[in-house]
Amino acid sequence: MSDSTFLDFTSATETSAANERHFSALRRGEASTDRIASVRISAATLPLKGAISDAKVLTGRQKPLRDVAFLFAEIRTEAGLEGVGFSYSKRAGGAGQYAHAREVAPELLGEDPSDIQRIWTKLVWAGASVGRSGLATQAIAAFDIALWDLKAKRAGLPLAKLLGAHRDSVQCYNTSGGFLSSSIEEVIENAAQTAANGIGGVKIKVGQPDTKIDLKRVAAVKEAIGDRIDLMVDANQQWNRSTAVRMGRAFEEFDLTWIEEPLDAYDAEGHADLARELATPIATGEMLTSVAEHAELIRHRSVDFIQPDAPRVGGITPFLKIMALGETARLRMAPHFAMELHLHLAAAYEHDPWVEHFDWLEPLFNERLETEGGRMIVPARPGIGVSLSDQARAWTTATETFGV
């Protein structure tokens, strides 16, 4: 059935009672027979405080970013338990994600919510003619994340603990204050505020048409922060191979934690050559949309830091496969964006990860994450630990519910 506004699925009291019924059955040694009763999808548009520009904008590839489109999935079981997941799109594709989710959502009804990997495969094959990566799997990601959120809630655990956490906090760095649309004075002020807020690093954008400007901005930020916090740069795929080598060598005096996306996202061989050439670590992967694409980076030894994005690769289920590949190759990891989700995944990664601090998504959720001593604290709340805010509901542009 369709509705034009968000519905109240259940009260906190009902959710607590549902959990108690679930745990009582487990104590009696009974297998769960719970099934997915309803699925609600919603499209919402998050407006940014101002237009954001990086190298892709300054070179004419893209327009400034003014908002982010979100796809939310809320899954409820017959026992009254709920999971919330999301995916997103920048600039274009949000309507397509919602349309695809709307087509495949009925496939979830009646399924055992614990069978997450089988459900992921079922949803992929429901839309197999449009492929197993890209927009189709990004739509599926919202359902997959909601199912993992639900599974962790059923266990009474934060998602990180359900997956098997290596740590209770993760190193974090801020990006939102380092865009090219900000003056160098603003970037320096933001870096100082980042350190004051207990965040351990700051990443600034590079990739200007005039590379001398990049060098001046990086030098100014490094002088301002010294060794108090880490410094990273992000070229957003702007350079060709020779420019990347030249800029990488010029940046070595600044002791950067990494250089991000120096080349085209799909240039695995070029990144591998660059990683061998430079002393500064190389990071990339945020634009890739499948396990296979990340496997190619790892196979070529193209990166020191892998940067997968769970909503972009199809959810937590494929993300865990990328984690396994990265751990086997002994790579470090710094997931892209969506700290509310990626904090849990980074906490479950073996090799000393980072998580990206973006405060953009905060209006969408009722809860907040804490930072202290350069690290982000994994919340103790069950599941991912977030619930949709009234503001998220106010920004909703379309919604539909399947099941009862």
The CATH number given to whatever domain includes residue 39 is: 3.30.390.10
Q: Which of 22, 161, 205, 321 is catalytic?
A: 205
* Whether residue 298 is found in the same domain as residue 348: yes
Q: What is the pTM of this model?
A: 0.90
Number of domains in the chain: 2
* Whether residue 166 is found in the same domain as residue 58: no
Residue 178's nearest CA partner among 136, 224, 121, 126 is 224
* Whether residue 151 is found in the same domain as residue 213: no
* Whether residue 319 is found in the same domain as residue 185: yes
Q: Which domain holds residue 239?
A: 160-377
Domain contains 54:
yes
Cα 349 → chain centroid: 15
Give me the pLDDT at residue 31, please: 58
* Whether residue 196 is found in the same domain as residue 112: no
Domain contains 209:
yes
Domain contains 337:
yes
Rounded Cα–Cα distance for residues 159 and 299 (Å): 29
Domain contains 384:
no
* Whether residue 176 is found in the same domain as residue 255: yes
* Whether residue 327 is found in the same domain as residue 372: yes
Q: Which of 56, 294, 336, 344 is catalytic?
A: 336
Domain contains 385:
no
* Whether residue 178 is found in the same domain as residue 304: yes
* Whether residue 224 is found in the same domain as residue 75: no
* Whether residue 108 is found in the same domain as residue 47: yes
* Whether residue 52 is found in the same domain as residue 173: no
* Whether residue 82 is found in the same domain as residue 134: yes
Domain contains 66:
yes
β-strand 82-90 against 332-333: which pairing, if any?
unpaired
Domain contains 5:
no
336 catalytically annotated: yes
Structure tokens given for 38: 């309803």
Rounded Cα–Cα distance for residues 291 and 124 (Å): 14
User: What CATH number is associated with residue 201?
Assistant: 3.20.20.120
Sign (positive/negative) of CA torsion 269, 267, 138, 103?
Answer: negative
Domain contains 109:
yes
- What is the residue-level pLDDT of the chain in tens, covering all 404 positions? 334 333 344 444 555 555 565 555 555 555 568 999 999 999 999 998 888 888 888 888 888 889 999 999 999 999 999 999 999 999 898 999 999 999 999 999 999 999 999 999 999 999 888 888 888 999 999 999 999 999 999 999 999 999 999 999 999 999 888 888 889 999 999 988 898 888 999 999 999 999 999 999 999 999 999 999 999 999 999 999 999 999 999 999 999 999 999 999 999 999 999 999 999 999 999 999 999 999 999 999 999 999 999 999 999 999 999 999 999 999 999 999 999 999 999 999 999 999 999 888 999 999 999 999 999 999 999 999 999 999 999 999 999 999 98
Rounded Cα–Cα distance for residues 330 and 129 (Å): 35
Residue 148: helix, strand or coil by DSSP?
helix
